[in-house]
Chains A and B, each alone.
Chain A
Amino acid sequence: MSQTDRIEKQVRLRAPRARVWRALTDAREFGEWFRVNLEGPFVEGAIVRGRITHPGYEHVRMEVLVERIEPERYFAYRWHPAAIDPKVDYSSERTTLVEFRLEEVGAETLLTIVESGFDRLPTARREEAFRMNDEGWGIQAQNLGRHVA
């Protein structure tokens, strides 16, 4: 897999796995930290829509298709990343896959988030030369990851 295809994040949360699971898969709780007002629950195979509540982006609507829910272990959905232009119909574009994996580490929880499929997106497809580069966004991502850890 090329370096431009995926973003991977890992964070250790000082909270039990059941607590983190609820924050990820309860649509209302998800909306609190993700800043979206989802109109329904997350159900495998179903689409759920909502309006972004992040300041400055309130005009943006978000739509996710839930791929899989394995209680307290794995949650995945597909969506159109950075689909922020309300006038653009993104439905014909490829989606990326967002995966959340939970692992118990003592009383804490290790959360791994992977978003993949960027290489199939129109913008990324034009950037094939980037694949030859030996450094990717990964370095930057790790910096930012350390910042929030």
Chain B
Amino acid sequence: MSRNRAATTSRMADAAPVFAALGDARRLGLVTRLCDSGPLSIARLSAGTGVTRQAITKHLEALADAGLVRDTRQGRERVWELEPRRLERARRCLDQISAQWDAAIGRLKTFVETHQPNT
């Protein structure tokens, strides 16, 4: 499964602001949600989260700065969606899930390598 190192380095550099923007569980959750549901209003995004609309808006603006989301006006509502760069979007959706697996695998590794009863 080896790949071109230069391409990898370049991809990592391109992705750095994205990773920084996503380095927060709440923002990661917002991206995953927009990825799954399509465009959503602030009301929908904040409903049931226990987080204020202001806080959600701040996270969305941070994501917008990284080019991950954008907002449009629909009547009185501000609606947020993922940036429609199709290739990037597809990749990021999978990247989220991929990163979640990596985190889970890291925890599994720690779990099985440190919880070994002598039986």
Taking Cβ atoms with an 8 Å cutoff, the residues of A that contact B are 4, 7, 9-11, 13-15, 19-20, 23-24, 29, 32-35, 55-57, 59, 81-88, 109, 111, 113, 115, 118, 123-124, 126-127, 129-130, 133, 135-145, 147-148
| Given A13-B109, A87-B47, A137-B95, A130 contacting B90 (CB threshold 8 A) | yes
A-B contact pairs, 21 of them (CB 8 A): A9-B101, A11-B109, A13-B112, A33-B110, A34-B108, A82-B35, A82-B93, A83-B36, A84-B32, A85-B37, A87-B48, A88-B36, A115-B97, A124-B93, A126-B86, A130-B86, A136-B91, A136-B94, A142-B8, A148-B102, A148-B109
A140: contacting residue among B11, B35, B89, CB under 8 A: B11
| Given A13-B108, A143-B8, A143-B12, A123 contacting B91 (CB threshold 8 A) | no
B106: contacting residue among A7, A15, A140, A148, CB under 8 A: A148
> How far is the CB of A148 from the nearest CB of chain B, in Å?
4
Residues of A within 8 A of B12 (CB): 143
| Given A23-B112, A82-B97, A140-B11, A56 contacting B25 (CB threshold 8 A) | yes
| Given A113-B101, A127-B87, A33 contacting B111 (CB threshold 8 A) | yes
| Given A20-B112, A85-B37, A139-B3, A145 contacting B25 (CB threshold 8 A) | no
In the complex, the answer to whether B91 meets A145 with C-beta atoms within 8 Å is: no
In the complex, the answer to whether B102 meets A123 with C-beta atoms within 8 Å is: no
**B contact patch SS:** helix
Residues of A within 8 A of B48 (CB): 59, 86-87
Interface size on B, residues (CB 8 A): 45
> How far is the CB of B73 from the nearest CB of chain A, in Å?
23
How far is A87 from B97 in the complex, measured between Cα atoms in Å?
20
B26 at the interface (CB under 8 A from A): yes
> How far is the CB of A123 from the nearest CB of chain B, in Å?
6
> Which 7 A-B residue pairings sit nearest by Cβ, starting from the closest?
A127-B90, A56-B25, A15-B112, A33-B107, A130-B90, A148-B106, A144-B102
In the complex, the answer to whether B113 meets A140 with C-beta atoms within 8 Å is: no
| Given A9-B101, A127-B90, A144-B98, A56 contacting B26 (CB threshold 8 A) | yes
